[in-house]
């Protein structure tokens, strides 16, 4: 009986369902959606910002203004607007605050880091709930002084220190001078006594670059795009050192990830790459301690930047580190003991190479003070490049040039590479008093065979030195006057143009320009920066390519390459 009842009840339900559908058949009210077309009002825009209907270029920290033109198939005043900035590629990531407006006219200040983003406007008809979108390519550019150029650090006496930027690469195209860009961005000066500028170029794909200024007991990092304060030395270390005396700071030029700092003679390092930037903050760890009491501020990465050479300035010997992971001394077969980090000297000919009339040297026993070092071969990431080292004895009456190639390993068997630089009129005049040096790098295949120096007793003259073994050892190297400024001029800084670009991005003028900062106030000519062209063998063209004037007392000049290039 129960089964019969179940079947009887189903039949009326089916009939009722069909009856309901038949009554509702055709009882619909179809309404066409309001189709919205979004375009840009090109008649009322800044043409340098709104390039076309789909492309925008705006300087970081500038205001962006866009007016929309809306057309509708069914005009409605009940529209909602939302402007959003999103990533243009997965590697960039979305900005943390991506909604920037909710009116038909966008008015917003762009605070994003320089990069290429997408700007999206969503227009919604609130009557139907249907939304329409328009996409723009948004290129956030640097301030005029935030791109490629020369950073000029200056002392402004009682006011403190400030920065100007010369927006030229090599002087071929005359650039502009933007003065006091640090105080313009921050509303205050750098501390009195600021003594050094450092530019850190990380892997180009990261689009990360740091600019730092160092002063007694501290330092300041600024955003490379506008020089706005970013961080201070008290936040750079996992544990702040008891003494903050930053002597040098740089990133390996090829891999762009191993950042090295020498603080008060101690080695600190950090790794900045696509993996580590995902887990901030990135800070310098505790110093690497070992048999070396204090390291020289000059260090020499190899071609891949995975290995780096240092100099123990107390025991006066070289050290070589594998920088991958936790830096380790290499060769690993040697003990961490002073003057024993390399195997015993094994150059053919033995100790004769190390004599006064010899040309070789022992990595474990240099026995002199390192006063300068710089690469003398172009860095291409493929060939291990050579460095020039200027050594001087403790009495400051003998100066030497050493040539060393930094590679994965460094054999201790050099039978050449040491040059005695005799301070004499017929040899290398004034070299024992020189403290300003510069080294060009013309080729990846060989060293430049030239370097420049300014004698301490002739501060208005630049000499060109050409290392040579021609003649009777040991005093075979000579120099000659390369460029002379008017009497009374003091050369304050001298740098060979080395761009920091790698591979096919290296400009044709790489190492072909000598940039010299002068104090000519004694002659009433102020403080100036000269761009002097160099020949392919290192001779200085005596007609300046460009001269920039109007600076305060210049402390340092440093080239800053373009971000992400």
All domains of the chain in start order, with CATH: 36-141 (2.60.40.10)
DSSP alpha helices (H): ranges in 431-481?
none
Check if the beta carbon of residue 133 is closer than 8 Å to that of residue 70: no
What tokens were used for 157?
A: 């006496």
Check if the beta carbon of residue 379 is closer than 8 Å to that of residue 447: no
Report the pLDDT value the prediction gives residue 312, as an integer from 0 to 100: 99
Phi, psi at residue 504, to the nearest 5°? -70, -10
Cis before 123? omega within 30: no
Report the pLDDT value the prediction gives residue 564, as an integer from 0 to 100: 62
146 closest CA partner among 106, 173, 115, 117: 115
Q: 239 by DSSP, 3-state: which?
A: coil
Rounded to whole angstroms, how far apart are CA atoms 259 and 253?
10
Neighbouring CB atoms inside 10 A of 469's CB total 11
Q: Any bridge partners for residue 420, and if so which?
A: 400
Phi, psi at residue 389, to the nearest 5°? -120, 130
Q: Average pLDDT across each block of 10 residues of the chain; the chain has 565 residues. List them in order.
A: 37 40 52 89 87 88 92 94 88 76 93 88 94 94 88 94 97 95 96 97 83 98 92 97 97 86 97 88 95 97 89 98 91 97 97 97 99 92 88 98 94 98 97 98 90 97 98 97 98 97 86 98 98 97 98 98 74
Q: 205 by DSSP, 3-state: which?
A: helix
Q: 300 by DSSP, 3-state: which?
A: strand
* C-alpha separations of 129 from 126, 135, 510 in Å: 5, 20, 59
Cis before 331? omega within 30: yes
Helix/strand/coil (H/E/C) assignment for every residue in 467-502 = CCCCCCCCCCCEEEEEEECCCCCEEEEEEECCCCCC
Q: Which strand (E) or helix (H) includes residue 537?
A: none
Which residue bears the tokens 């850190």? 200
Rounded to whole angstroms, how far apart are CA atoms 277 and 259?
13
Rounded to whole angstroms, how far apart are CA atoms 554 and 129?
63
Instruction: Indicate the burial class of 123 (C-beta count within 10 angstroms; 0-12, 13-18, 19 or more).
Output: buried
Rounded to whole angstroms, how far apart are CA atoms 390 and 368?
10
Report the pLDDT value the prediction gives residue 9, as an integer from 0 to 100: 38
């Amino acid at each position: 009986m129960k089964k019969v009842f179940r079947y009887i009840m189903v039949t009326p339900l089916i009939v009722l369902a069909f009856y309901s559908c038949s009554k509702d058949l055709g009882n619909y009210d179809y309404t066409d959606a309001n189709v919205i077309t979004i375009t840009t009002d090109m008649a009322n825009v800044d043409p340098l910002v709104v390039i076309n209907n789909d492309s925008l270029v705006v300087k970081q920290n500038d205001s962006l203004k866009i007016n929309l033109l809306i057309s509708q198939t069914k005009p409605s005043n009940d529209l909602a607007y939302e402007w959003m900035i999103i990533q243009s590629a997965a590697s960039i990531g979305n900005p943390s605050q991506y909604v920037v407006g909710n009116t038909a006219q966008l008015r917003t200040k762009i605070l994003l880091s320089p990069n290429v983003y997408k700007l999206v406007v969503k227009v919604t008809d609130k009557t139907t709930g249907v939304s329409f979108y328009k996409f723009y390519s948004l290129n956030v550019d640097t301030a005029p002084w935030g791109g490629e150029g020369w950073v000029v650090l200056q002392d402004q006496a009682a006011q403190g220190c400030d920065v100007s930027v010369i927006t030229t690469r090599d002087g071929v195209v005359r650039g502009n001078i933007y003065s006091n860009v640090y105080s313009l961005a921050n509303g205050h000066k750098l501390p009195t006594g600021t003594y050094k500028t450092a530019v850190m170029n990380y892997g180009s794909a990261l689009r990360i670059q740091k600019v730092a200024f160092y002063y007694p007991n501290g330092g300041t990092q600024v955003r490379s795009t506008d020089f706005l304060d970013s961080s201070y030395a008290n936040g750079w270390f996992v544990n702040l050192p008891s003494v903050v005396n930053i002597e040098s700071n740089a990133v390996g030029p090829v891999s762009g990830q191993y950042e090295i700092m020498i603080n008060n003679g101690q080695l600190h390092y950090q790794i900045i790459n696509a993996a580590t930037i995902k887990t901030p903050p990135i800070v310098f760890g505790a110093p690497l301690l070992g048999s070396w009491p204090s390291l020289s501020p000059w260090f020499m990465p190899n071609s891949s930047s995975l290995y780096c050479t240092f100099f123990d300035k107390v025991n006066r010997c070289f050290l070589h580190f594998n920088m991958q992971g936790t830096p380790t001394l290499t060769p690993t077969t040697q003990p961490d003991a002073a003057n024993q980090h390399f195997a015993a000297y094994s150059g053919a000919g033995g100790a004769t190479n190390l004599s006064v009339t010899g040309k070789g040297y022992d990595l474990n026993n240099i026995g002199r003070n390192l006063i300068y070092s710089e690469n003398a071969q172009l860095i291409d990431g493929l060939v291990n490049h050579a460095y020039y080292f200027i050594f001087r004895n403790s009495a400051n009456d003998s100066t030497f040039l050493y040539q060393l190639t930094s590679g994965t390993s460094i054999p201790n068997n050099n039978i050449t590479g040491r040059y005695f630089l005799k301070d004499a009129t017929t040899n290398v005049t004034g070299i024992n008093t020189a403290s300003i040096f510069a080294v060009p790098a013309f080729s990846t295949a060989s060293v430049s065979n030239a370097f420049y120096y300014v004698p301490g007793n002739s501060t208005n003259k630049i000499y060109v030195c050409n290392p040579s073994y021609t003649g009777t050892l040991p005093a075979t190297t000579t120099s000659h006057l390369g460029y002379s400024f008017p009497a009374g001029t003091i050369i304050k800084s001298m740098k060979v143009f080395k761009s920091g670009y790698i591979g096919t991005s290296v400009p044709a003028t790489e190492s072909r320009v000598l940039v010299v900062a002068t104090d000519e106030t004694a002659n009433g000519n102020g403080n100036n920066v000269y761009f002097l062209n160099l020949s392919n063998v290192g001779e200085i063209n005596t007609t300046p390519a460009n001269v920039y004037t109007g600076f305060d007392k210049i402390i340092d000049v440093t080239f800053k390459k373009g971000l992400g290039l």
